[in-house]
A and B are shown apart, each in its own frame.
Chain A
Amino acid sequence: MKFKKNIATSDTGFVFNPGSGDSFSSNQIGTDIIACFKEDKSRQEIIELISDKYDVERNQLEKDLEDFLTQLREHNLLEE
């Protein structure tokens, strides 16, 4: 699981895939997580970072992160 390297993101949550021409919009947490992916952070590191910044239980975050990955996969934004 890896985020595609060439994907462009902005602070406003706009995500552009130059490979496919698709554009996306993400919320703040999604944007933060994508930023982590781009820095090649591990899933564990991401959970640490996000739960430090946001008021969330780890179980919840783990589950939601899994769902977010499903969405990214669905949108063809991951390298398998």
Chain B
Amino acid sequence: MEKLRYERPIIKKLNTGFVNKFGTQTKNEVVSHLEGASVKELIHQYGSPLFVISEKQIRRNFQHASRVFKTRYPKVQFAWSYKTNYLNAVCRVFHQEGSWAEVVSGFEYEKALGNGVPGNKIIFNGPDKTEEQLILAAQNNSLIHIDHFDELYMLIKVSEEFSLKPRVAIRVNMDTGIYPKWDRFGFNYENGQAWSAVTKIIHSGLLSLVGLHCHIGTFMLETAAYGIAATKLSELAHKIKANFGLAVQYLDLGGGFPSTNTLKGSYLPGTDTVPTIDQFADTISEAILGAGFDQEELPLLILETGRALVDDAGFLLGTVLANKRLSDGRSSTILDIGVNSLFTAFWYDHKVTPAQEGGQYTEETVLYGPLCMNIDIIRENISLPLLKRGDHVVVHKVGAYNMTQWMQFITLRPNILLLDQNSHPHVIRQAETLNYLQSGELVPEHLAKSSLS
């Protein structure tokens, strides 16, 4: 006689606050394959944990967003936000699709050049640009987005010294009715700071003001805020035109579109509440088209969308290390995925699904990572089928920020795999080794000899 499929025996108390399987979930979703590739096979071949990025999904996302904006506004340009995910392979997929590069540090700038992006298609943002970097960017005819007056004066100084005429925009911060106000970046619109920066740039005669930039926040759930931002940037553009006869060439609305991840502390899941890219496009294009630009002076709309284009193209595969009953009777599961690689576990209640069929029964579980550190928690509370040691799980929507903000801590960082459009796997970043980790370390001579034996 064939034996029945096994699952752990459990017993749950039923009470008023009780949520049974009908309450929490009506179906246990199993994700055993990604783009046709078996999770089990991938882990077998490339180890666990394992980041997997779907090239197909990136292209789908990009083409969709591009179509959505271009059907509403005639001149649209996306610039890939490097900090969201600067693996060269990922950046190159975006560049192949036509994205420019948006960078916020010297090394990101060099990465963009290395990925074959022409200098004049790199947007250099951020509060930290050195003199050398500014000179290089100016020489390459890149778009320099000025963040503060100290930078503005430095740029004027080097332009004079090296006879450069850099193309610049200012970053503008403003009240768009949302919380928190990102007033730490750029020049404030309401108090006149932005206007005095514009005046300074134009009067210097050394910089060429080509655009206006803002970036109102991150994981924005209010589309209306973008309408306000676009309107205020347009007003500023009109004022520049009226006072100096100069038509700015582009408005850069920055990034901040959310993915469908569920933010911690929110009651409804992100898939239900997050506005679609269409809604953002509607609001932004209506605001600019309604701002009264002459047809021939309609500014190019630049978008630095990161998260919304890559988050759902990233998956983190992992393995169950152990199950443990906590002292208060709660169940917990230890995975080999820690917060050192899944940084976004601090922000999101990530969707986690088993990679193999399980029973109908589910259990409320804490998902811990493998680190010997108390804050290593992947999910504080999740209802999952009964997993056992060696089972695999898939963490969803991890494409944004994890592969840049991850930490080398306690464990080494795993392989990153790209599934190409034919679902063929390519390692695009090798798992770290002890040698890699120690390659920059030096031991002073007086510590060279081991004293223990």
Contacts and interface: CB of A to CB of B under 8 A. Distances in A.
Interface of A: 15, 22-30, 32-34, 52-56, 60-61, 64-65, 67-68, 70-72, 74-75, 77
Given A23-B13, A72-B11, A53 B323 contact: no
B452 interface: no
A64 B323 CA distance: 9
Q: Which of A23, A29, A68, A75 has most B Cβ within 10 Å?
A: A29
B14 A25 contact: yes
B13 A29 contact: no
A25 B13 CA distance: 6
B5 A54 contact: yes
6 contacts: A23-B14, A25-B12, A27-B10, A52-B3, A53-B3, A67-B325
A29 B11 CA distance: 10
A51 to B, nearest CB: 8
Given A27-B359, A52-B3, 9 more contacts: A23-B14, A24-B11, A24-B14, A28-B359, A67-B8, A67-B9, A70-B329, A71-B10, A74-B329
A38 B5 CA distance: 23
B73 interface: no
B6 interface: yes
Contacts of A64: 8-9
Contacts of B434: none
B4 A71 contact: no
Contacts of B11: 15, 24-26, 30, 34, 68, 71-72, 75, 77
Nearest to A52: B3
Q: Is the interface of A mostly helix, strand, loop or mixed?
A: helix
Contacts of B6: 29, 54-56, 60-61
A72 B329 CA distance: 10
Contacts of A22: 13-15
B3 A30 contact: no
Interface in B4-43: 4-15, 20
A36 B221 CA distance: 54
A22 B14 CA distance: 7
B13 A26 contact: no
Given A54-B5, A54-B6, A55-B4, A26 B12 contact: yes
Given A25-B20, A60-B388, A53 B12 contact: no
Nearest to B323: A67
Nearest to B13: A24
Nearest to A22: B13
Q: State the 5 A-B residue pairs at the shortest beta-carbon distance, nearest first.
A: A30-B9, A56-B6, A55-B3, A26-B11, A27-B361
A70 B325 contact: yes
A24 B15 CA distance: 8
A65 B11 CA distance: 12
Contacts of B329: 70-71, 74-75
Given A53-B3, A54-B3, A55-B3, A68 B13 contact: no
A54 B2 CA distance: 9
Contacts of A32: 9
A46 B388 CA distance: 20
Contacts of B359: 27-28
Given A25-B14, A71-B325, A74-B329, A65 B3 contact: no
A29 to B, nearest CB: 4
B329 to A, nearest CB: 4
A29 B10 CA distance: 8
Contacts of B389: 60
A27 B361 CA distance: 7
Contacts of A65: 9
Nearest to B330: A74
A34 to B, nearest CB: 8
